[in-house]
Structures are given as C-alpha cells and as structure tokens.
Structure 1
Amino acid sequence: MDGVIHIPAGERGVIRLFELAMRPEQAAFLKEPGALAQVLGAETLDMEQVEIFPVSDLEDIGLTGYLTEGCGVPRAQVEEDREVLQAQEGHVLLIRSRAFDGKETRLTPADQIKLIGTYGERQTNWSAPPETAESAKPHSAPKLPPRAARAQSRRIGAVLFTVVMLLIALLIWVLVS
C-alpha cells in the first residue's frame, strides 16, 4: 500500500490516475456498486466521476493525450510524467474530485492500486473588468411617468379584451352555423 491519500473538503478540478495491477476481470469487478469504494477504503464514491479502462483502448492517443485532450489537464503537467504514462499497460483508474461529493475523504488503496499522478483540470477564468456602460447599471432604463404607464396598461388591456371577445364571437358563429 502506498499510504493514505487525503482528499480535502470542497476539492474541485483534480484528477487522480491510478495503476491497477490486477487481472482484467478483477478490474471489471471494480465497476460493481460499492466494490471500488471498498478497495479504496472510502465510504462512498460517485461512479459517474470514475473511469476504469484498459490503456489499450486509447490506441494512438495514449494516456497523455487522453489527459490533455479528453480531461482538460494542462499539457505542462502531463509532460512531467510522460515516460511513466507511456509505460502504462493493463487497466487504469481515473477519479475526479467530484466523485467525493465535496467531502473530506481519506483513501487507503489496496496493494494492487498505485497512484500514478495527480493532475489539475484547466480552471475557467471567471474574472472580468467591471462593466462601466451606463446601460449596464441597475434601474438605468428610462421610467415612464405614472400617467403614461396607466395609459399604456389601458391600451394593452383593451386590445386583449377585443381579441378575446372576437374569439368568443367566432366560436359562437361556428357553433351556430
């Protein structure tokens, strides 16, 4: 066992990649409900955020390409582990931090599960300069004077009333004919 892996509460945007040193049928069994959580020593895992697959399924793209293109990991992070990632064979386990539902977790993986690397997904930059246009300010639209607002409401009401009455008259005419 490589030791305890601590997942802090509220962690976001982190991907952990593990090597599965086991037979293919054992790796496939980890997809069963509760099996992976048990071998990792975790209470629960959101299996929608977990991937277990043979490296051979990635064909030409490889693990480095999958992490950068498929998972959004910056290329510089993956380049540090390129040799290790290219040497991988058999099955791997990929767990996103969302699998832990924002809870603090301690993983104690079984002996056949070895951490290859921890990678951060590209983060979206949500910062922007403050909007300075006059039209972007709250309540910046011109207000109608109270009399004009009432007159506009009356016109809309009259039009709706006329349309409804015409529809009723049309319905009566169709029923009588």
Structure 2
Amino acid sequence: MGVVQHIPAGERGVIRVFDLDMRPEQARFLREPGALAQVLGIEEIDLDHVEIFPISDLEELGLVGYLTEGCGVPADQITDDGETLQALTGHVLLVRSHAFGGEETHLTPATPITLIGAYGEQRPQWTGTPIEAESAKPYTAPRLPPRAGRSKARRIGASLFAVIMTLIVLAVLKMVT
C-alpha cells in the first residue's frame, strides 16, 4: 500500500492526478465497478468523476495542457510538477473531489498507483456590492388578504374551465361536420 491521502469532508474543486504503473489491460480493468475503489483502499467511488486514459491519447496537448486548458487548473499550480507531469508515460488516473460524494475519505492506493499531485480547479470570483433596495429584502411584497386570494384563484379557475370547455365544444362540432 502507498501513502495515505486524506480527503476532507465537503472538499470541492480538487483534481488528483495519479500515475498508473501497470499494463494497459490492468488500467482498463479499473473502469469496472468496484475495481478502482478496491485499489484505492476505499468502499466506493463515483466513476462519473474519474478519468483513466493513456497519456498518448492527449497527443501534442499533453497532460499539462489537458489539466490547464481542459480541466481549468491554473498554470501556476502546475509549475512545480510540470516536468514530472510531462515525463509521465502509460496510463494516468484523474480523480475529482465529487468522486468521494462529499464524504471524508482516506485513500491508501496500491503500490502501482502513485499520487503526482492535487490541483485546484479555477473558481469564479463572486464579488459584488450588496443589494440594498427595499424590494430585495425578503417578505417585502404586498400580501393579498385570504379572501382576495381565494377570489382571484376562483376567477383563474373559471377562466381555464371556460377555455377548455370551448375547445372541447369546437372539437366536437368539427367532428360532427
């Protein structure tokens, strides 16, 4: 077993890159239900948030380009591991935080699986001034009294009933003629 990796509960926006030092058929087998979870030493993993592929599939883009351009990882996060990522051959495993379902997890990868790095996806900066208009405050819309609300609902219901009945009468008349 490899080094234990702690995944905190509620983690979001992190991509972990693992080198798979194994034959191609073994790497393909990891896509089977339960296989990847077993070699990572955990109960279950959501395969919708996992990628296993040969690096050769990336062609001239390369793994660094795929992470920065395809996955939204800021380039400054990869600079320390750039040479290591470019030197990788064979298959690679990318695991996003959502694969663990927001649960706290401890990964103990099997020997042929080596963690290269964990990289945060670029997140939008949600900044802005607070809205201070009176209408933006909760429960500021005028409420109808209960009697007026029921009256309005009855009018809407009666209108819908009239429209539907008119359509039915027109359909029957068209069938008769």
Interval containing the TM-score (normalised by the shorter chain): 0.7 to 0.9
Q: Which amino acid aligns with 2:52?
A: I
Equivalents in 1 of 2:169, 2:70: separation in Å?
62
Equivalents in 2 of 1:102, 1:158: separation in Å?
49
TM-score w.r.t. the length of structure 2 is 0.81
TM-score w.r.t. the length of structure 1 is 0.81
Map of 2:121 onto structure 1: 121
- How many residue pairs are counted as aligned between the two chains? 177
**Residue 22 of structure 1 pairs with residue 13 of structure 2:** no
Indicate the RMSD between aligned Cα atoms, in angstroms. Answer: 3.1
Q: CA deviation at 1:125?
A: 2.7
Q: 1:164 to 1:123 in 2, by over 3 A?
A: closer
Map of 1:12 onto structure 2: 12
Equivalents in 1 of 2:58, 2:36: separation in Å?
22
Q: Which amino acid aligns with 1:51?
A: E
Equivalents in 2 of 1:10, 1:154: separation in Å?
47
Map of 1:42 onto structure 2: 42
- 1:77-116 equivalences in 2 (<5 Å): 77-116=77-116
Q: CA deviation at 1:100?
A: 0.7
Equivalents in 2 of 1:157, 1:101: separation in Å?
45
Equivalents in 2 of 1:161, 1:110: separation in Å?
67
Which runs of 5 or more structure 2 residues have no equivalent in the other structure?
none
Equivalents in 1 of 2:149, 2:98: separation in Å?
51
Q: CA deviation at 1:51?
A: 0.7
Q: Which amino acid aligns with 2:41?
A: G
Q: Which amino acid aligns with 1:116?
A: I
Q: 1:161 to 1:103 in 2, by over 3 A?
A: closer
Q: CA deviation at 1:166?
A: 5.2
In structure 2, the residue corresponding to 1:131 is in which secondary structure? coil
Equivalents in 2 of 1:69, 1:116: separation in Å?
18
